[in-house]
Chain A
Amino acid sequence: MDSGDEINIYSDNEVNDYYGEDANNTDCNYESLIKEEDFVDSDSDSPVAKRPRLEGPPDQNYTVLKQSDIRERQENTIAEVATVLSVSKAVATVLLRHYNWSAVKVHEAWFSDEDRVRKNLGLLPIIEFPLDSTEVKCGICFDLFPTRDEIVSAACGHPYCVECFRGYIRTSINDGPGCLMLRCPDMSCCAVVDRDMVNSLVSEEEKHKYLTYLYRSYVEENKKIKWCPAPGCDHAIEFDDDQGWDVTCACEFSFCWNCVEDAHRPVDCETVANWMAKNDDESETKTWILAQTKPCPKCAKPIEKNEGCMHMTCHSPCRYQFCWICLGDWHNHINCNGYKEDKRKEVEEAKRHVQKYNHYYERWAAHNLSRLKAVSDLGRVQTEQIEQLSDIHGKTQIELGFIAEAWQQIVECRRVLKWTYAYGYYLPEAEDAKKQLFEFLQGEAEAGLERLHGYAEKEVRQFLNADERSVNFEGFELKLKSLTGVTKKYFEKLVSALENGLSEVQEAGKSNMEERWRCDRCTYANSWENVTCEICHMHQ
């Protein structure tokens, strides 16, 4: 796009200067809608931060739009339609708004039946009133005016005095975006009050409001563009095709373009919507789940969870190590993701349901919180920790990039893991083989992530102490890199399995988890057909 030219299609000869080109008229300058400082760190050509994508499509199927991009597109579309149809830009705007800002649709409708379009939208040919007409009565205040000098009208010619019409437009602008569809006040008339007319009558402040509505309508009425839902973010995302809904805004917020929920690949929107609605329904049962303290399963002293990973260690002297989620002994417990259906007959269905829901909700919420904690830790790592380590160990910040990468991986994996619990909740209980495969893959991925998260969180501490320059930093780097890579692979497997609807099960018949060999290095359970580990390539 030719961004060098300052395109200002809103000002041409016969039309008022919509966005105030002249310098002393800055109040209602379109430019002032755009706070330049918002873009200082994102004005490059690749505004989207690099983040680890779990084998996502290499070509981005969406575009992040800044305010200036949105404005430019809007201006270009209006200019295009105005030129093709030979109408004023104000009229082109009316047409585009009606057809969801699609120039193609405007052209189609206009050239197949211009009269009908004009009639429907109130774009009437201008009616000239006879100049000799005597007194004119304003349709709002009912005062009589000796000449038409103080009278204004839309194309229909219904007369209103300037004061009344200004009040009419002003009231409508202050009522909200409906002012963009303003019509002649006459009860039986549908003539539009277009932007030219609005601009000629209202104050700068009101023009500014009107333009803000117009600007927002370009995104809100456009079928291919949505606002980024992150609080305070004013970017929008244009989506190009229906493959993979997850998008990441320039503000780094990831969301599903389709349902505008947090990014939830590999789980589909319907499952997410059901799950979120369910969470609303169950809001009472879940308050206790969110509590951030639990009694130590051994000594019953309350333990507060203040770290991201699920590996808890009680205060001394107990020092019992347990899993936050299932309260099981950390060392005897490989994974705690599998939900055991309670088979006892005396447990009523309702209770079973609550237990099942709680199991999944607790994990969903725990991983969500853990992800939020990891996001803030990642920020801290990038701003403080890497600098400290760089000073102490004489490494450049680029050499230390592997630490931030590890944290980015943790954030992304927590996100995936969180949604797999919504997926798991809806996985039909009858599909035993699928359930088994799912829980196996989820368990492996989760265990890998806990190892990585724990290592990144705790192991690094010894290197932040200047006195211990001698400790094996290279060993730490090697291990963290390998844990990052291994965890990434676990999650790639999990994501692709869920996206294929766990179809692996049908191919392999009943997959038998017991008959696998566990890799010594990364603990992945490999099929006996593999001679080397699927994850880390170590020989059996």
Chain B
Amino acid sequence: MQASRARLFKEYKEVQREKTADPDIQLACDDSNIFKWTALIKGPSETPYEGGVFQLAFAVPEQYPLQPPQVRFLTKIFHPNVHFKTGEICLDILKNAWSPAWTLQSVCRAIIALMAHPEPDSPLNCDSGNLLRSGDIRGFQSMAKMYTRLAAMPKKG
């Protein structure tokens, strides 16, 4: 079996086994393609994303885990390191700081950590980065909260 497929299969089995281990992450593999995954992650508490559920899409390359997966937000999110239109994420471990010891599960954890600790100095969303850098924390939080409510929360009624 292809090394990437074998490794993904192990991750798949691990996910099945520990489904309840991390209540903030629900990782699932596409039934017909083990190289396509989606995840639902909970917005971390005490952040403007609290209460929201965000969907991530993973595209895993053939060279995985020697090469990182491509991950993007499917749910709209207002965050300095996430591209507002495409959902692309700027996170070092998904680029030059990638290591094959990361798993899809631990990548999800790193993304949750990024939601709680944005890095306004490498912004993909300039509006959001500028608000933070200029010290307008309240402005940033109200925008982020608004989008969480609009895009990441189940509609009432």
Contact = CB atoms under 8 A, between A and B. Distances in A.
State whether these chains interact.
yes
Interface string B1-16: 0010011001100000
Contact of B66 (A142, A167, A187): A167
Query: Chain B's interface: helix, strand, loop or mixed, by majority?
Result: loop
A297 interface: no
A139 B102 CA distance: 9
Interface in A139-157: 139-143
A513 B141 CA distance: 72
B14 to A, nearest CB: 8
A115 interface: no
A302 interface: no
A142 B7 contact: yes
Interface stretch (B21-29, B82-90, B93-101): B93-101
B63 A171 contact: yes
B105 interface: no
A178 interface: yes
A164 to B, nearest CB: 7
Contact of A164 (B96, B100, B102, B106): B100
B48 interface: no
A187 B99 CA distance: 7
Interface in B23-79: 63, 65-67
B96 A185 contact: no
Given A171-B63, A171-B67, A140 B96 contact: no
Contact of B10 (A142, A168, A171): A142
Nearest to A187: B101
A432 interface: no
A141 B101 contact: no
Interface in A298-314: none
A187 B3 contact: no
Contacts of B10: 141-142
A31 to B, nearest CB: 31
A187 B96 contact: no
A186 interface: yes
Given A141-B7, A142-B10, A171-B67, A187 B106 contact: yes
Contacts of B67: 171
Given A178-B96, A186-B101, A168 B7 contact: no
A171 B96 CA distance: 12
A178 B92 CA distance: 15
Interface residues of B, number: 15
Given A168-B66, A171-B67, A185 B101 contact: yes
Contacts of B11: 142
Interface in A157-197: 163-164, 167-168, 171, 178, 185-187
Nearest to B66: A171
Interface residues of A, number: 14
A445 B6 CA distance: 77
B6 A141 contact: yes
A166 B63 CA distance: 13
A178 B102 CA distance: 19
A187 B63 CA distance: 19
Given A178-B96, A187-B106, A140 B63 contact: no
B100 A187 contact: no
A171 B6 CA distance: 19
A139 B106 CA distance: 14
B100 A168 contact: yes
A186 B99 contact: yes
A141 B103 CA distance: 11
Contacts of A143: 6
A185 B99 contact: yes
A140 B100 contact: yes
Interface in A422-453: none
A140 B65 CA distance: 7
Interface in A460-510: none
Interface string A300-331: 00000000000000000000000000000000
A139 B63 contact: no
Contact of B101 (A140, A163, A171, A178): A140
A185 B102 CA distance: 9
B7 A187 contact: no
A140 B8 CA distance: 11
Nearest to A163: B3
Interface in B94-126: 96, 99-102, 106
A167 B6 CA distance: 15
A141 B5 CA distance: 10
Contacts of A168: 66, 100
Contacts of A164: 3, 100
B9 to A, nearest CB: 10
Contacts of B101: 139-140, 185-187
Contacts of A185: 99-101
Contacts of B102: 187
A147 B67 CA distance: 27
A141 B106 contact: no
Nearest to A141: B7
Nearest to B101: A185
Interface of B: 3, 6-7, 10-11, 63, 65-67, 96, 99-102, 106
27 contacts: A139-B100, A139-B101, A140-B7, A140-B101, A141-B3, A141-B6, A141-B7, A141-B10, A142-B7, A142-B11, A143-B6, A164-B3, A164-B100, A167-B3, A167-B66, A168-B66, A171-B63, A171-B66, A171-B67, A178-B96, A185-B99, A185-B100, A185-B101, A186-B101, A187-B99, A187-B101, A187-B106
Given A171-B67, A186-B99, 6 more contacts: A140-B100, A142-B11, A163-B3, A167-B66, A187-B99, A187-B102
4 A-B pairs closest in CB distance: A171-B66, A140-B100, A185-B99, A142-B10
